[in-house]
Amino acid sequence: MDIRDRYAPSPTGLQHIGGIRTALFNYLFAKAKNGTFVLRLEDTDRSRYDDVFTDNLYDTFKWLNFSWDEGPDIGGPYKPYIQSERVALYKAYAEKLVESGRAYYCFCSSERLDALRKEKEAAHSPETGYDRLCGNIDRTEAAARAKKEAHTIRLKIPLGETTRFTDILLGEIEWKNDDINPDPVLLKSDGFPTYHLANIVDDHLMNITHVLRAQEWLSSTPMHVILYKAFGWEAPAFCHLPMVMGQDGKKLSKRHGATSINEFRKNGYLPEALINYIALLGASYEEGKEIYTLKDLAERFSLDKLNKAPAIFDYKKLEWYNAQYIKMSSDENLAALALPFAIEMNLFGSGALGPTEKQKELFIKAMPLVKERALLLPEIPQKIAYLFSAPVPAPPDEFIPKKSNLASAIKLLQMGSDIIQEMAEEDDEGAEKIAKAKAEKEGVKLGDLLMPLRVAITGGRVSPPLFLSVRLLGADICGQRIQYSLESLRKEKV
């Protein structure tokens, strides 16, 4: 069998974690089986459709750097891949169901349906949905009325029966037809199909062999199976993927934090880290291994390694993954990734559209200062801001080592000033030797010597590595900052 699966989003919102996980699993399954991954835009909900969401979809996948084999933008043998361009097709298939007696015309107004709903709610009726009134109209009469009256087309659910299907992950599923939404609408009065009709027709005509989708669609599947039988078609294999939950055990939503991919991008996550982590939500690959490239994942993905239990989205774990990919990045690549965040925070000067060549060179050289400690991209320019402009002067207390005083801090800073020229000309090992020798000569602890020096140069006690910072800034700038701090501290002493 030639495996064909699809991602079929509705462009009514931004791409989010759940949707991308569904797309990724379909992509990985297709690649693992040398199959075909299809993108289809299910844009028949015209009341909520917006081009912004379609643009967001393409932009998101371009950023994530994985794509489809067939789709609206690249075509394929089953085009068009946009449902609004296939409306006539759905109408024709809906009419076929009416002709076969598997569906019927419904002439109920929205006012009647609304009144029916309210009546059932007031009576606390266990029955919900449509009362099948129009299903009793003579077919000849209904056909005549349909030529001149507004109408929908409803699927006739066979009552008193049980619908069965096999889910690859969940096993055998049984659903009493009487519990299915009564005679759902297939074709709306405006001629557009509902999701259910368009989905089944397209999956069949596009030869989709496997439908991997979120478990929230499980309750719709019996209706879909009935539709396949009504058409006389074989249904694809279904696999309803485990839910993605927050730490509180509830479905992941905005209350848990970022969920749209745009938010993760803005927060400074790398696409490789996001893909790596999302791929592990509800699936296992290789014991003891945590870092996977997209190629690694495709080689190892298997439906029998999916978990039935819901996956818990852990933002801290995602940060850990992001930190690993930051560490693995080359200095040049990491600088390019962090550059937009640096420009946004005016690292290179207020209103600057980008760095000068000199600033760019310094920015790249500064990456080793932060790549071992940064969790997110915005932290990078924040942590090295002192390289591009003098830091805000630290308060006197920051310069004073533990169990010491202001006078001692001034002496220690002066000692640092004496060796700053030599330190700037050495690598880390050489600079440390110079500092150690000075500390031994003066009879002070190395940490006490370096701490006020760090505060004067970087603006705080906690900063990226001092020795490389000194080399990047150079002896002159470091010397100026030390002298400024000494003058300020001496004023405080007076």
> Alpha-carbon dihedral of residues 88, 94, 95, 101, nearest 10 degrees?
170
Cβ contacts of 11 within 8 Å, gap of 6 or more? 41, 43, 49, 50, 51, 53, 54, 57
Q: Let me know: does 238 contact 6? Beta carbons within 8 Å.
A: no
- The H or E element spanning position 87 is helix 87-99
Q: Let me know: does 196 contact 220? Beta carbons within 8 Å.
A: yes
Q: How far apart are CA 266 and CA 466, in angstroms?
A: 30
Pick from 67, 85, 82: nearest CA to 26 = 67
Which DSSP string do the residues of 112-124 spell out, in sequence order? HHHHHHHHHHHTT
Strand partners, 175: 163
- The H or E element spanning position 174 is strand 171-176
Q: How far apart are CA 81 and CA 383, in angstroms?
A: 47
Which are the catalytic amino acids? 254
Which DSSP string do the residues of 27-70 spell out, in sequence order? HHHHHHTT-EEEE-B----TTT--HHHHHHHHHHHHHHT---SB
Tokens representing 334? 């990491």
In a 13 Å sphere around the CA of 44, the CA atoms on its Cβ side amount to: 26
Tokens representing 125? 């009726």
- The H or E element spanning position 164 is strand 162-167
Work out the angle at residue 49's Cα, subtended by the Cα atoms of residues 313 and 109, and round it to the nearest 5 degrees.
115
Q: How far apart are CA 206 and CA 233, in angstroms?
A: 13
Q: How far apart are CA 265 and CA 373, in angstroms?
A: 19
- φ, ψ for residue 297 (rounded to 5)? -65, -45
Q: Which amino acid is at 327?
A: K
Q: How far apart are CA 263 and CA 259, in angstroms?
A: 7
